[in-house]
Amino acid sequence: MSLEFLLFAVDDHGIATLTFNRPAKLNALNAGTLAEFEQLLAEVRNNPAIRALLLTGSGDRAFVAGADISEFAAFTPISAQRQSEKGQTLFRQLETLGKPVLAALNGFTLGGGLEMAMACTVRVAAENAQLGQPEVKLGIIAGYGGSQRLPRLVGKGIALEMLLTGEPISAQRAYAIGLVNYVVPAPELLSFSKQLLLKMLAKAPLALALTIQAVDVGLNGSLADGLQFEAAAFGLSAATEDMKEGAAAFLTKRPARFQGK
């Protein structure tokens, strides 16, 4: 696959690292970037050798500093709505990938960049990262899910403060409000992020996928819906070879060797 705006590599552990590679534009999301991102998401979803996805930005200034504003001039009400729906669909695909996805935030994480990060399983921020939804400063609103995921993660009041002022917050405040899971020194960001993913990948792959899905079902439905799915998923996981291996490993006090079966 020929890539112009992204870098993509898979290591020996099955962790795919996808790097947004427009550093001169602070890795802003243009149409070409989103098209390549969609293709790579399909590759990650369908390739069993890829067990987790790590997202980061090229350079040390930005993860993704939002959408490419130069493309806004051509918007009509209809084309803008379609663009919003396309971005929402794409980030929903990211959110429901069925594999752990970690956003390593190495600088400005604004607009569509924050919306993408919020669709990931977990977020790790460098100490110099700044996070925000500045769309109101441009006379628009968040269009790739920001008005929906942000209050789910940090609560209505803080989300509205961020959405209505458009002001970015520091990595430290993002951690304090639960928007990111960890804040680490910038030189340690990628190594820390990979170690966190490896902790997850040491567990049973099917249990990981079912857990991600169970949380998603519960957050997007009623408590009754979530509990019903959890019970069904618990039943499925109990019938796997991985469950038998996990129980045997626990009882014999040895590391489990999960096979994803």
Give the chain's count of helices (H) and strands (E).
10, 10
What six digits make up the tokens of 9? 């590599």
Backbone angles phi, psi at 99, to 5 degrees: -135, 150
Q: Across 49-181, where does the E strand assignment appear?
A: 52-57, 62-64, 101-105, 108-110, 122-126, 130-132, 169-170
* 88, 110, 137, 139, 222 from 134: Cα distances, Å: 18, 7, 6, 10, 31
Of the candidates 144, 44, 33, 141, the residue with the CA atom closest to the CA atom of residue 86: 144
Catalytic residue numbers, as ranges: 115, 135
Rama region for 64: left / alpha / beta (φ>0; ψ in -120 to 50; rest): beta
